[in-house]
Chains A and B, each alone.
Chain A
Amino acid sequence: MSAAFSEAQVIQQSAAPSWAQRFASTVKRLYTRPASAFGASVFVIFLILALFGPFFAPYGLNQIIATEARQPPSTAHWFGTDNLGRDVFSRVILGAREILTLSGLGTLLAVISGTLFGLFSGYQGEWLDEVIMRFFDSLLSLPALLLALLLLGVLGPSSNSVLVVIVIVYTPIVARVVRSVVLSVKNKAFVEAARLQGESLGRLLMREILPSVLPALAVESALRFSYAIFLVASLGFLGVGVQPPSPNWGLMVKEGRNFVNQIPWALYFPAGAISIVVIGVNLLADGLKRALQAPGSE
């Protein structure tokens, strides 16, 4: 421990911490709070399941074992089997990839587009800002789930549609957060100086303003991610998003709901997975916020 401590001292003495160092110190701060540590660990565990799920899953994703339908949890089937004889444990594990990929990729795209809109709109100001932000406000005036249902009604149900929905629903929110930070820094001296040096708009936004936005953006991304998981599961539950036999946890809950009296495990395990991941990512977002708010104050 003392070695690590002295190392940290050395780092702090160096002029500007590198990306890797900043990441390491953020992670370190995350793990000082139990709740944040729990959230981060849950996220990492599910990330590993998503990446290496097929390695852990004892059965195939949609493998139907007709003779073993509706079995309670046992050593052969840890979470039991569903009404069609599929292993619930395998489906929950393999469902992690589906839900984290969809919500992760959707969040990433929404963050990128939201950041671009927010930077540009906030920096340009004037009528362009008005037009973009009022349009986003109009999107935000609709409840997210309602907007998602409307969009899916137009696009038709599929994984790609769900992705598009996440991007459209969350871009305005991210853009708003980014824009508010941009407004607070765009008149600061260092931005002014860069402008006077004749830097191009793109360079100005990316090199000078973006770094100030990053902490808020990281927190917002984590929050968006947890809501995206929720949205993907909700759409699965409503049956308008991904289609069976996808192992989307929301869809599994929808299917299991019909059989709750007979085979409750087919409902409770995917429902539990949703809760744990959403709580985990929320705690992570919260921890990230605290860790980034107090840079250097250890």
Chain B
Amino acid sequence: MTEGPGEEPTPAATEAATEPAGTQAGTLRIAMQPIVQTDPGFISSDPEVLVANHIYDYLVDITAENEIAPRLATDWQVSDDGLSYVFTLAEGVSFHDGSPLAAEDVVWTFDRLRDPDLGLPTSSLYENITSIEATGDLEVTFTLLDPNPFFLFDLSDNHALILKAGTEDPSVFNGTGPFVVVDYSPEDRLIAEANENYFVDDQPQLQGLEFIFFSDQTAQVEALRGGQVDLVMVISTDLFQSLQNEPGLELLQVATNGFDLVRLRADQEPGNDPQVIQALKLATDRDAIYSLVLQGFGEIGRDSPIGPLYAQYYTEELALPGRDVEEARRLLAAAGYEDGLDLELHTPDTGNRPNLAVVLKEQWAEAGVNVEVLVEPESVYYGEDGWLQVNLGITGWGSRPYPQFYLDVMMKCDAIWNEAHFCDEELDELIATAGTTMDEQERVDAYQEIQRILIERGPIIIPYFFAQLGAINDQFQGFEMKAFPGRSDLRPVTFAGG
């Protein structure tokens, strides 16, 4: 694992004679996929979020340890019933155009994000908000319909970057953030320099950022190797392996809750027979998958989207049945498939998914399950909701800061992405409890029960949680990569080179 947060930046004796006077030094060049969306309300990809995260500010931030931290809001109070949140904004904050930040800007931003007529992806996320009011020059009050224990996480949604009230074109980079855009040439690069008036003392530490766009990951890594860029945050396992022992680089590895989900539809044959689901789980060799597909990076999964990253919510106390091919055969025979079972396994062509499919095919074959692998371009797999229709499929799920998201969108009976078409009343009740209770212990208990149910009868296999791999030029210090790399914080990064 990489080091934790960087040490306090010490005013080390600087040999950087050629650097101009000032507190900031060094330009960090980041290789990444090209960005398309520059309106914070519509951004989605990792690079888009990374850019926006440094030009704008969130109201509250999420740390690498998945804790809520102040950003534009320095302080907040929650009412006892959990329905009212009062935020105090930092003083002396100004937009890049020079105008000061006021409570109205926050109100306007969130009103825009929750406006169902604008088609923003956040409108349903903020449905639970009944009102947003400026209750002072630098004070904003949110009122909720129902208690939501994860409301602060929701407020730090990737899109919730604060814009100036009345902004007509939200894609012009007028934020309050630590860096100011100097030049943006689409599909080439985006150049930003340090915001001299940034409201946080001693930040940013760098003089500038240069986001350089590459559509090919191999080219990104080669540019890093050749010293044309300083940071790559999304590297495949094999390319990452090739960087081992490369001088001048610090390799970064972060545990995430991202996973590949193998799921069989529970509403049609053969997945409507729980014995078949059990048989497939028993025929799967997770250790072999972990070493072959992930090459030992990441964590072994336990068939629930609640991974080890969610500390207290995750449990290993529940026994996960070990591999037992004979028992799998017996269960399949009992389910009426004594002559074997033929299945088509659909998978997108990205990441480790085709490899996972091939390994599963071999493992399941030992139990008499004959799998035909169908690798599809990602756009085809997810296009026209095909992935929600296929009987047996592998879907990639990205890392989120809290587990309720996965349960709400894919495990509830009426969830929009319930791709396994699984419906279990007991599970539904537990998900509802975990998502609304303000009693932490009750939530912990509910999450553990959910894990038990999914291990027992969930028509899903989560063989692993992947690790996020990256690398940075070792002349830059204090960088901490996050599970969702776009939310990494470059403000405290310092340049130690000459």
Chain A interface (Cβ < 8 Å from any Cβ of B): 62-64, 66, 69, 83-85, 157, 239, 243-245, 255, 258-259, 261-262
Chain B interface (Cβ < 8 Å from any Cβ of A): 236, 238-239, 241-242, 285, 287-288, 291-293, 295, 349, 354-355, 357-359, 361-362, 372-375, 377
Number of cross-chain contacts by CB at 8 Å: 54
Query: Are B292 and A243 in contact (CB-based, < 8 A)?
Result: no
Chain B residues positioned under 8 Å from A66 (CB to CB): 285, 287-288, 291-292
Tell me the interface secondary structure of chain B in the complex.
helix
From known contacts A85-B292, A245-B358, infer whether A262 and B373 are also in contact, taking CB-CB under 8 Å. Answer: no
CA distance A196 to B303 in the complex (A): 80
CA distance A83 to B377 in the complex (A): 21
Chain A residues positioned under 8 Å from B242 (CB to CB): 261-262
Chain B residues positioned under 8 Å from A64 (CB to CB): 288, 292, 359, 362
Q: Contact check: which of B238, B295, B358, B373 meets A261 at CB < 8 Å?
A: B238
Max chain A Cβ within 10 angstroms of own Cβ: one of B242, B291, B355, B377: B355
CA distance A239 to B354 in the complex (A): 11
With both chains docked as a complex, state the minimum distance between the C-beta of A87 and any C-beta of chain B, in angstroms. Answer: 13
From known contacts A69-B292, A83-B292, A84-B292, infer whether A243 and B372 are also in contact, taking CB-CB under 8 Å. Answer: yes
Q: Assuming A84-B292, A157-B374, A244-B357, what are 16 further A-B pairs, CB within 8 angstroms?
A: A62-B358, A62-B362, A64-B359, A66-B285, A66-B287, A66-B291, A66-B292, A83-B355, A244-B373, A244-B375, A245-B361, A255-B354, A258-B238, A261-B238, A261-B241, A262-B242
CA distance A63 to B363 in the complex (A): 10
Chain A residues positioned under 8 Å from B372 (CB to CB): 243
From known contacts A84-B355, A84-B358, infer whether A69 and B238 are also in contact, taking CB-CB under 8 Å. Answer: no
Query: Are B238 and A243 in contact (CB-based, < 8 A)?
Result: no
Query: Are A244 and B291 in contact (CB-based, < 8 A)?
Result: no
Chain B residues positioned under 8 Å from A69 (CB to CB): 291-292
9 A-B residue pairs with CB within 8 Å: A62-B358, A64-B359, A83-B295, A84-B355, A84-B358, A157-B375, A239-B375, A244-B375, A245-B373
With both chains docked as a complex, state the minimum distance between the C-beta of A251 and any C-beta of chain B, in angstroms. Answer: 10
With both chains docked as a complex, state the minimum distance between the C-beta of A50 and any C-beta of chain B, in angstroms. Answer: 23
Max chain A Cβ within 10 angstroms of own Cβ: one of B292, B374, B375: B292
With both chains docked as a complex, state the minimum distance between the C-beta of A139 and any C-beta of chain B, in angstroms. Answer: 25
Q: Which residue of chain B is the closest to A245 with respect to CB atoms? A: B358
Chain A residues positioned under 8 Å from B236 (CB to CB): 258
Chain B residues positioned under 8 Å from A261 (CB to CB): 238-239, 241-242
CA distance A225 to B295 in the complex (A): 40
With both chains docked as a complex, state the minimum distance between the C-beta of B466 and any C-beta of chain A, in angstroms. Answer: 15
CA distance A258 to B221 in the complex (A): 13
Chain B residues positioned under 8 Å from A244 (CB to CB): 354, 357-358, 373, 375
Q: Which residue of chain A is the closest to B217 with respect to CB atoms? A: A258
Chain A residues positioned under 8 Å from B241 (CB to CB): 261-262
With both chains docked as a complex, state the minimum distance between the C-beta of A85 and any C-beta of chain B, in angstroms. Answer: 6
Q: Which residue of chain A is the closest to B349 with respect to CB atoms? A: A239
Q: Which residue of chain B is the closest to A246 with respect to CB atoms? A: B373
CA distance A226 to B225 in the complex (A): 39
CA distance A80 to B233 in the complex (A): 31
Query: Are A62 and B292 in contact (CB-based, < 8 A)?
Result: no
Q: Which residue of chain B is the closest to A153 with respect to CB atoms? A: B380
Q: Shortest 6 CB-CB distances between A and B: which pairs?
A: A261-B242, A66-B288, A245-B358, A259-B238, A64-B362, A84-B292
CA distance A239 to B378 in the complex (A): 12
CA distance A157 to B238 in the complex (A): 27
CA distance A63 to B236 in the complex (A): 25
With both chains docked as a complex, state the minimum distance between the C-beta of B382 and any C-beta of chain A, in angstroms. Answer: 16
CA distance A239 to B287 in the complex (A): 28
Chain A residues positioned under 8 Å from B354 (CB to CB): 244, 255
With both chains docked as a complex, state the minimum distance between the C-beta of A271 and any C-beta of chain B, in angstroms. Answer: 17
CA distance A160 to B394 in the complex (A): 24
With both chains docked as a complex, state the minimum distance between the C-beta of B48 and any C-beta of chain A, in angstroms. Answer: 25
CA distance A210 to B239 in the complex (A): 57
Q: Contact check: which of B238, B293, B359, B362 meets A262 at CB < 8 Å?
A: B238
CA distance A193 to B200 in the complex (A): 101
